[in-house]
Each structure stands twice: as C-alpha cells, then as structure tokens.
Amino acid sequence: MNPTKIDSAAVLGQLIRSQRKKHGLSQQEVADYSGVGRIFVVHLEQGKPSVHLEKTLAVLTTPGLDLHVRDREALSMKTLNVHHDRVAASAHRTLQNPKS
C-alpha cells in the first residue's frame, strides 16, 4: 500500500474502511479486536471529526495500518537540496562542455 496523505477525518475513515474490507473483517470484528464499540468504528469510517485519537490508533492496528508523521519542512528541504544538486551538476556539465 502506498502512503496516503491524511488531511481529513473522512480520508482516514475511507482508508480504514478499505483496509478492513480488504482483510475481510466486519466492523464488529474490528471493534472487538481493538477494544472499542462497533458504533465507534462506524463513526470513524464515516469520518466523524470528533473521534478519540487513542481509540483511533487502536483501530488502525487491527487491519494492519500504522500512523506515521513526517516533518514537512525537512521533506521540503530534502527536495530543494536534490533540485539544487541537479541544477549545479547541469551547470557544471555546461561549463565543461560548452556548445559552440
């Protein structure tokens, strides 16, 4: 599974529902394995924005999902550094082999 940007409760709910169905689990089974109520799983999958984070993390692990947080600034800096390195290499090649 490719990483998915979670920018809303609805996106997270859709991802959880999709993964649950992929593994052939019912909402009740996910609830039982996660130690939460079935209604919580229903609300989570519907994208209810006020669900409890601790319970959400418990539900995520049942169908095999993990939650990771990335530093956008560090990622942006890495992208900028790669771009800078490519531009510098291109400029160096141009200086070494100028076209007449």
Do 64 and 74 reside in the same domain of the chain?
Answer: no
| Count of structural domains, the chain | 2
pLDDT per position as a tens digit, 18-77: 999 999 999 999 999 999 999 999 999 999 988 899 999 999 998 989 888 777 776 566
Range of the domain at 43: 1-69
> Looking at the structure, do residues 65 and 80 belong to the same domain, yes or no?
no
Measured in degrees and rounded to the nearest 5, phi and psi for residue 72 equal: -60, -40
Q: Same domain for 12 and 45? A: yes
> What does the pLDDT read at residue 73?
74
53 and 8 in a common domain? yes
Higher-confidence residue: 62 or 85? 62
In the predicted structure, residue 7 carries a pLDDT above the cut 90: no
Same domain, yes or no: 59 and 75: no
Say if residue 30 is in the same domain as residue 61.
yes
pLDDT at 78: 60
**Same domain membership, residue 28 and residue 6:** yes
CATH number, domain of 11, equals: 1.10.260.40
pLDDT of residue 99: 61
More confident residue, 83 or 69: 69
- H helices present in 1-100, as ranges: 9-22, 27-34, 38-45, 53-61, 72-96
